[in-house]
Amino acid sequence: MRIAGIGGSYFLRFIKGTVDPLFTTYIVLYLLVRGFRSLSLPLPWVNNWLTDFLFIPVAAHLSLSFTRYIVLRNTGYTYPLYYLLLMALYTALVFELIVPCYVSSSVADWGDVAAYFAGALFYYQVHQRKTH
């Protein structure tokens, strides 16, 4: 079976390679934070920086899984640290420098910047190594 020009077996490996206990934890934590926010019951520290911390690991894991299983077809490939730090830098520039200039409800926060970089380091040191 072929899905959108991608060999079905590669697509299934991509899905299996993406969904792991840490990735599932990221998604569950994100949904809990969003759920508490929607109930007007934000959890102070968690509400402020956890989703920012999780952003880079989620984005990196999805892109790394795509690279491993669809592009390179090499499950041993890992991102070097500087790729992850560049992802954090780009994210910080966009969401903490550019977006607040154009969206009145968006506010730049150095805590968010620190969370992006901490998430990148966590992904490099913990998650990527567990899936390698």
> Which tops the pLDDT comparison, 60 or 132?
60
The model's pTM is: 0.86
**pLDDT tens digits, one per residue of 41-65:** 888 777 788 999 999 999 999 999 9
Cα separation, 106 vs 15, in Å, equals: 33
Element (H, E) at 12: helix 8-18
CA atoms within 13 A on the CB side of 12: 5
What type of residue is 126? V
What was the pLDDT predicted at 92? 98
> Residue written as tokens 């894991």?
61
**pLDDT tens digits, one per residue of 16-37:** 889 999 999 999 998 999 899 8
**pLDDT tens digits, one per residue of 79-115:** 999 999 999 999 999 999 999 999 999 999 999 999 9
What was the pLDDT predicted at 2? 46
What was the pLDDT predicted at 8? 63
What dihedral angle (degrees, nearest 10) is formed by the CA atoms of 125, 18, 75, 129?
10
The CA distances from residue 123 to 58, 80, 87, 100, 132, in Å, are 9, 11, 12, 27, 12
DSSP state of 72: S
What was the pLDDT predicted at 7? 54
